[in-house]
Amino acid sequence: MSATNQTVQDHGQHHHHKDLAHHFDTLEQQHDANTLGMWAFLLTEVLFFGGLFAAYTIYRYKYSAMFEEASNHLDITLGATNTVILILSSLTMALAVRCSQTGQAVWTGRWLLITIFFGLMFLGVKYFEWKHDYNIRLMPGKDWAGKDFFWWQYAKKAKEMEKHDKGHSHALPDPKDVLPDNHPSLGIKGIQESQQARLFFLLYFCMTSLHALHMLVGFVLIGIIAYFAYQGAYSPDYYSPVENIGLYWHFVDIVWIFLFPLLYLLGAHMGH
């Protein structure tokens, strides 16, 4: 394809714009490239979580009864609270993007910081939830591994006690009460139940911790962009970093919107 000698019309002031990287011709081209890059990255992320969702789907189908029972051990109230918090953070993120587009530098920074605040709140709730999960032996640990199925008996006992006193005393079962001197009494069915419940909780921890990891990365990125926003780095001409971090944050939210029903609501009909 032979090209002519003619030069592209020089785009005047754009070439000297401080935010225009040398290899782009126009700010618009740069903005489009950045946005497409972010969408492509999110596509990758969908597939990245997709592997876990595929594994979840297979075992949900294979061990549906136990998945529902295991799901019933998670705290719907905390899960729902977190869902609301995260949706609020999406709102504040959308406001940050809007402010960057209209050139309100200070409010861009503020909304970004508020987004981080909601994100931290989410992880705070998650921390107490995980701690509780750990106490009732749902979390992968030494009780969990290999052929030791004791953890599931313990978790069931904890659930029973919680149901009994309507969650007021927060007392944990005495391990001795559930410690089977006689593993065989679990029977093959008990062992299978324990294995299947373990798969559920494995996926629960993998998926929620991968999600949390994405939030942590988000905090760092949002923090950096908030800093630049306060410095006045963004203008109606150039706001793609804010827009892109917004896309990322909404993606993290959407993942949670899927995780919440799949993990928490699955066993809701079994009552608490």
Contact range with other proteins by CB under 8 A, out of 51-59, 168-176, 180-188, 212-220: 51-59
Contacts of 168 (CB under 8 A, 6+ apart): none
Provide the 8-state DSSP code for 174.
Answer: P
Q: Is the CA virtual torsion 71, 72, 74, 78 positive or negative?
A: positive
Choosing from 98, 120, 125, 140, the residue that interacts with other proteins (CB under 8 A) is 140
Provide the 8-state DSSP code for 20.
Answer: -
Binding flag, residue 103, other proteins (CB under 8 A): no
Binding flag, residue 187, other proteins (CB under 8 A): no
Q: How far apart are CA 187 and CA 190, in angstroms?
A: 5
Binding flag, residue 25, other proteins (CB under 8 A): yes
Tokens encoding 223: 């923090």
What residues pair up with 235 in beta bridges, in sequence order?
238
Q: How far apart are CA 153 and CA 60, in angstroms?
A: 21
Contact range with other proteins by CB under 8 A, out of 6-14, 69-77, 232-240, 263-271: 6-14
Q: How many residues of this chain bind other proteins (CB under 8 A)? A: 46
Contacts of 108 (CB under 8 A, 6+ apart): 96, 99, 100, 226, 229, 234, 242
Binding flag, residue 228, other proteins (CB under 8 A): no
Binding flag, residue 49, other proteins (CB under 8 A): yes
Shortest Cβ 133–other proteins spacing (Å)? 15
Shortest Cβ 114–other proteins spacing (Å)? 29
Residue pair 241/247 in contact by the 8 Å Cβ criterion: no
Binding flag, residue 43, other proteins (CB under 8 A): yes
- The residue ranges that bind other proteins (CB under 8 A) are 1-8, 21-23, 25, 29, 32-33, 36-37, 40-41, 43-45, 47-52, 54-55, 58-59, 62-63, 140, 144-146, 192, 195-196, 198-199, 202-203, 206
